[in-house]
A and B are shown apart, each in its own frame.
Chain A
Amino acid sequence: MDKSRGQQLLTEAQKGRHEEFKSFARLEIEPFAEQWDREQRLPESVLAKLAKRGYLGCSLPREYDGQGWDTVTFGLLNEALGRGSSALTDVVTVQAMVSMVLLKWGTTEQKRKWLPPLAKGEMIGAFALTEPDAGSALQSLSTGFTKNSEGHALLLNGNKKWISCAQFAEVFLVFGILDQRSAACLVPRDTPGLHIEPISDLMGFRAAGLAQLHFHDMEVPTANLVGKPGFALSHVAPVGLHYGRISAACSALGLLRGCFEESITYAATRNIGDKTVGDLGMIRSLLARMGTDLRAGSLLCHNACCAEDDHLPDVFEKTLMAKYFTSRAAVGAASDAVQIRGASGCHGSSPVSRYYRDAKIMEIIEGTTQIHEDVLGKIFVDQAGRIAK
């Protein structure tokens, strides 16, 4: 996270990893991110580099071929990659969501079969929860699971939309309804009855491979059910969404750092007459807000990651706060970064124009800003009520 403050909270090993991640981002991501955004696709070569370095399975235990890194290190990875490309970081986000759900709720057989290829990046996963008519309102899921007469297979019918990485994922964790109870199951990409329809021309995250999924009498073994029916929305999905929020919070922090670094460099070097842009008080106001948000966001992300490593029950609240703060701060910082650069900030030759488009997506993924406000506001009111008693 932010070096000048967050680094004091890091161990030597975590500091070393962060430098490694930032170096990787500088060399392998930042020079190419604009091209990926323009072409609306990630090359296989960069996914292979993520896999080779163990980044796609960094949170999984070594017994499943993961790296066994702590959550603080996972957060640092997302921050460093988020500085380079939100779309590429989304792959790490979704891979963690699927992997950590399987680690928590998978059967022994499911873990043995699916976790090693996910950890090694030989297989990319996608989290298929959102539907055309069920976004924030997950109780409205309509994808139907029915058991066949022998009870050995499930028949899936329905549609999913806005599914990150679906254009190239090899396995999908699909949520739906089985006998009026929520359920989740693993669906391999090559399952007959699955049709994948790419979504293009998004405002941001353009290279993240979003797609719609259509299931038509698609048959999967009941052995692919993850968790027990009835608990998919109360226990299974929340584990994935929680890891997604940790990742998204730190990715937004990286984007915020990108806005800050681009802006202070421009302000210090761009001349206006005999002054620089940074000599202007109004620009300094924007930089002050950006730099302070960066420090505050760094601490909130570190706080959430530490709570996850310590397995504290308030980790969910801390993660909601971190994601709420950094995603909103990233939107403000990206807008100000464009403003500081003027016309050149509106062109693809400057990363801030991409940051501006990607930042808005941060306020929507893994729970909108308004959902975060609703949940956090209730937590704070409840706390006040308990104090009053």
Chain B
Amino acid sequence: MSTADEKGIKETVRGFILSSISIAKLDDDDNLFESGIVNSLFAVQLMTFIEKTFAIEVGMDDLDIENFKSLNATTAFVLQKNGHPNG
């Protein structure tokens, strides 16, 4: 995957998060779960969005907060699930 792919994934996820929770902006490394702005409903919504949008399946082995804690983390997770070596 190219840098353009990575940027596309990040902006797609950013758009979903900003449309789902009430925050004005989201930086690439902002920690979603430490900030207290999200709840468990958002956690499963984000998971479902990622599965649907990027045609991947989040399974038991992927249950790691490091995979979803920020935009950068989520982008890397999607890249890795799609077989990108730098994901």
Contacts and interface: CB of A to CB of B under 8 A. Distances in A.
Interface of A: 104-107, 227-228, 230-231, 233-235, 238-239, 242, 310-316, 375, 381-382, 385-386, 389
B40 A234 contact: yes
Contact of B44 (A235, A312, A382, A389): A235
What are the 6 A-B residue pairs with the smallest beta carbon separation, nearest first?
A313-B49, A382-B22, A228-B63, A234-B40, A231-B63, A313-B48
Contact of A313 (B16, B18, B24): B16
B60 A311 contact: no
Interface in B34-87: 40-41, 43-49, 51-52, 59-60, 63-65
B19 A311 contact: no
A239 B59 CA distance: 12
Q: Is the interface of B mostly helix, strand, loop or mixed?
A: helix
A311 B48 contact: yes
A231 B22 CA distance: 24
B41 A235 contact: no
Nearest to A138: B40
Contact of B22 (A311, A316, A386): A386
B17 to A, nearest CB: 11
A352 to B, nearest CB: 35
A308 B64 CA distance: 24
A316 B41 contact: yes
B22 A385 contact: yes
A227 B61 CA distance: 8
A105 B60 CA distance: 5
Contact of A312 (B47, B48, B60, B64): B48
Interface of A is mostly: helix
B26 interface: no
Contacts of B1: none
Among B16, B21, B40, B59, residue most surrounded by chain A Cβ atoms (within 10 Å): B40
A386 B63 CA distance: 30
18 contacts: A105-B59, A105-B60, A105-B63, A227-B63, A230-B63, A231-B63, A233-B40, A234-B40, A235-B40, A235-B44, A235-B47, A238-B40, A310-B52, A312-B48, A316-B44, A382-B21, A382-B22, A389-B24
Contacts of A227: 60, 63
Contact of A235 (B18, B22, B63): B63
Contacts of B44: 234-235, 238-239, 242, 316
A238 B43 contact: yes
* Most B-side CB within 10 Å, residue of A104, A235, A311, A382: A235
A311 B51 contact: yes
Contacts of B65: 230
Nearest to B18: A386
Contacts of B63: 105, 227-228, 230-231, 235
